């Protein structure tokens, strides 16, 4: 039977990753998760400045078109000495430069004609062209809060606020262990009965994409003693453990057996297809996900269970989470068969046509066929016991 996917996530979320702090130069922090709030060290803008190239003037002097003002000097971005603007006077000003004392409006350069010592004003003087000190951000404001994923715009804002270094959430180290007698690393000679091992590579790459550091450990050749040793090493050196294979009903399903006998199982089996038999619990106090061995199953379970757990565990805001998929509605071009009693996640291709998302499915769907994950870019979310007819709109995950 097992639990629903929602319940599985709820249970896993009770065992979050331990959050560690890492201080990094700003240049190294792109894409990382902010550990603590950042308060602005300065006002932004730092001082009243001009939004336009033109003339800093007194608005009251410029009520009539054709007014002639005496030029008192120039304020350019970065100038230290700025003239004062008195009545009947104008100071040449560049975008971003400080507003001279006495001036309260800007005339655009396009609205003026210049003589050697005077300027004729041919257009309006606008106070609205002054960018006010602190109008974007007052000093002391928390503009980036802990848990924010640092996008390029966030990096720019952190620099604006005066930060050369930032504290980010340390990348969790996650052990990845493949289990199965038949598994041989790619590049090595295959025997008659062996296959290339792929899951630990796929899962490690998913861990990396989610902001973790994978640590691939020895492949386990279906030996419970070797598995125990490796799990101990994993628990001692990593923050969480992911295994692939060996969680079904069979006698050789040693991950399930060792967890039942020596670990702490919180759930086994999720009501979903593919990916039915995953297991979750703790081993020596560390969260452990036992993913199924079928390559598609392990990939899908990672996407819908491990990835959201990693995100919320690292304290990431819902809106800015690193994620592997986006929930969307798609109109299916072909019928899809659901699964009795299980959430059914078939591989589908999603494309945009106008303002609609269209889904189709073409290749062989077997849960052993990792090529189906490459050929498609989505997963259906068909509720238990429901099929989809051609033309139906369904919920789906768009893989990104």
Out of 75, 199, 303, 311, name the contact with ligand AMP by CB under 6 A: 199
**In angstroms, rounded to a whole number, what is the distance separating the alpha carbons of residues 34 and 170?**
10
Output 211 or 293, the one with its CB closest to Mg ion: 293
Output 245 or 275, the one with its CB closest to Mg ion: 245
**Position 248 contacts ligand AMP (CB under 6 A):** yes
**Position 170 contacts Mg ion (CB under 5 A):** no
CB-based contact 177:242 (threshold 8 Å): yes
Output 43 or 182, the one with its CB closest to ligand AMP: 182
**In angstroms, rounded to a whole number, what is the distance separating the alpha carbons of residues 299 and 297?**
5
Out of 172, 245, 278, 359, name the contact with Mg ion by CB under 5 A: 245
Output 248 or 349, the one with its CB closest to Mg ion: 248
Residue 114 host element (H or E) = strand 112-114
Stretch that binds Mg ion, among 48-56, 83-91, 112-120, 177-185 (CB under 5 A): 177-185
Q: How far is the CB of 136 from ligand AMP (least distance, A)?
A: 51
Out of 183, 373, 394, 399, name the contact with ligand AMP by CB under 6 A: 183
**In angstroms, rounded to a whole number, what is the distance separating the alpha carbons of residues 267 and 259?**
11
Q: Residue 292 binds what, of Mg ion, ligand AMP, none (CB under 5 to 8 Å, by partner type)? A: ligand AMP
Q: What string marks each residue from 277 to 316 as x (binds ligand AMP by CB under 6 A) or -?
A: ---------------xxxx---------------------
**Position 197 contacts ligand AMP (CB under 6 A):** yes
List, in order, residues 6 or more apart from 74 with CB less than 8 Å away.
83, 91, 92, 93, 94
CB-based contact 388:336 (threshold 8 Å): yes
Output 257 or 371, the one with its CB closest to Mg ion: 257
Torsion of CA 61, 63, 68, 73, to 10 degrees: 40
Output 79 or 248, the one with its CB closest to Mg ion: 248
Out of 2, 83, 170, 180, name the contact with Mg ion by CB under 5 A: 180
**In angstroms, rounded to a whole number, what is the distance separating the alpha carbons of residues 222 and 71?**
87
Q: Could you tell me where the DSSP H helices lie in the chain?
A: 5-13, 152-160, 199-209, 224-237, 254-262, 295-301, 307-313, 371-375
Give the interface size with ligand AMP as a residue count (CB under 6 A): 18
Output 178 or 281, the one with its CB closest to ligand AMP: 178
Stretch that binds ligand AMP, among 80-88, 191-199, 299-307, 320-328 (CB under 6 A): 191-199
Q: How far is the CB of 213 from ligand AMP (least distance, A)?
A: 20
Other CB atoms within a 10 A radius of the CB of residue 134 amount to 16
**In angstroms, rounded to a whole number, what is the distance separating the alpha carbons of residues 199 and 206?**
10
Q: What string marks each residue from 84 to 123 as x (binds ligand AMP by CB under 6 A) or -?
A: ----------------------------------------
Output 112 or 200, the one with its CB closest to ligand AMP: 200
How far is the CA of 15 from the CAs of 88, 162, 235, 297, 313, in angstroms? 71, 36, 14, 23, 8
Decide the pairing of beta strands 165-169 and 118-121: unpaired
**Position 181 contacts ligand AMP (CB under 6 A):** no
**In angstroms, rounded to a whole number, what is the distance separating the alpha carbons of residues 238 and 220?**
18
Nearest partner of 21 among 167, 152, 146, 181, judged by Cα: 167
Residue nearest to Mg ion (CB): 180
Q: Which residues of this chain interact with ligand AMP, rule CB under 6 A?
A: 178, 180, 182-183, 195, 197-200, 244-246, 248, 292-295, 368
- Applying CB under 5 A, the residues found at the interface with Mg ion are 180, 245-246, 293
């Amino acid at each position: 039977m097992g639990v629903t996917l929602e319940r599985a996530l709820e249970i896993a979320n009770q065992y979050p990753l331990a959050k560690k702090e890492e201080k990094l130069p700003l240049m190294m922090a792109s894409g990382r998760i902010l550990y603590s709030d950042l308060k602005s060290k300065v006002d932004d803008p730092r001082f009243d400045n001009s939004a336009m190239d033109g003339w800093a003037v007194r608005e009251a002097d410029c009520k009539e078109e054709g007014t002639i003002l005496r030029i008192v000097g120039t304020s350019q971005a970065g100038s230290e000495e700025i003239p004062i603007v008195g009545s009947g006077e104008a100071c040449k000003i560049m975008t971003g430069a400080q507003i001279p004392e006495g001036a309260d409006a800007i005339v655009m350069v396009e609205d003026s004609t210049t003589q050697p010592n005077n300027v004729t004003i041919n257009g309006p003087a606008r106070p609205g062209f002054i960018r006010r000190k602190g109008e974007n951000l007052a000093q002391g404001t928390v503009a980036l809060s802990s848990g924010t994923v640092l996008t390029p715009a966030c990096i720019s804002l952190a620099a604006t606020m005066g930060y050369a270094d930032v504290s980010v959430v340390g990348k969790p180290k996650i052990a990845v262990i493949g289990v199965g007698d038949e598994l041989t690393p790619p590049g090595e000679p295959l025997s008659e009965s062996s296959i290339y091992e792929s899951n630990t590579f796929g899962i490690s790459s998913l861990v990396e994409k989610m902001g973790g550091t994978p640590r691939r450990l020895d492949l386990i050749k279906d030996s419970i003693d070797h598995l125990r040793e490796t799990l101990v090493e994993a628990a001692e050196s990593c923050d969480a453990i992911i295994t692939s294979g060996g969680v079904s009903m069979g006698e050789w399903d040693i991950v399930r057996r060792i967890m039942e006998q020596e670990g702490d199982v919180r759930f086994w089996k999720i009501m979903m297809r593919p990916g039915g038999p995953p297991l979750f619990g703790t081993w020596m106090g560390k969260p452990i996900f036992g993913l199924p061995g079928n390559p598609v199953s392990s990939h899908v379970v990672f996407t819908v269970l491990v990835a959201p757990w990693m995100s919320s565990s690292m304290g990431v805001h819902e809106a800015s989470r690193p994620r592997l998929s986006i929930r969307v509605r798609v109109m299916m071009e072909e019928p899809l068969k659901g699964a009795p009693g299980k959430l059914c996640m078939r591989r589908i291709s999603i494309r945009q046509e106008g303002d609609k998302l269209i889904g189709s499915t073409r290749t062989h769907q077997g849960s052993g066929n990792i090529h189906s994950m490459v050929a498609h870019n989505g997963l259906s979310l068909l509720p238990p016991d429901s099929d989809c007819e051609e033309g139906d709109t369904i919920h789906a995950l768009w893989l990104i």
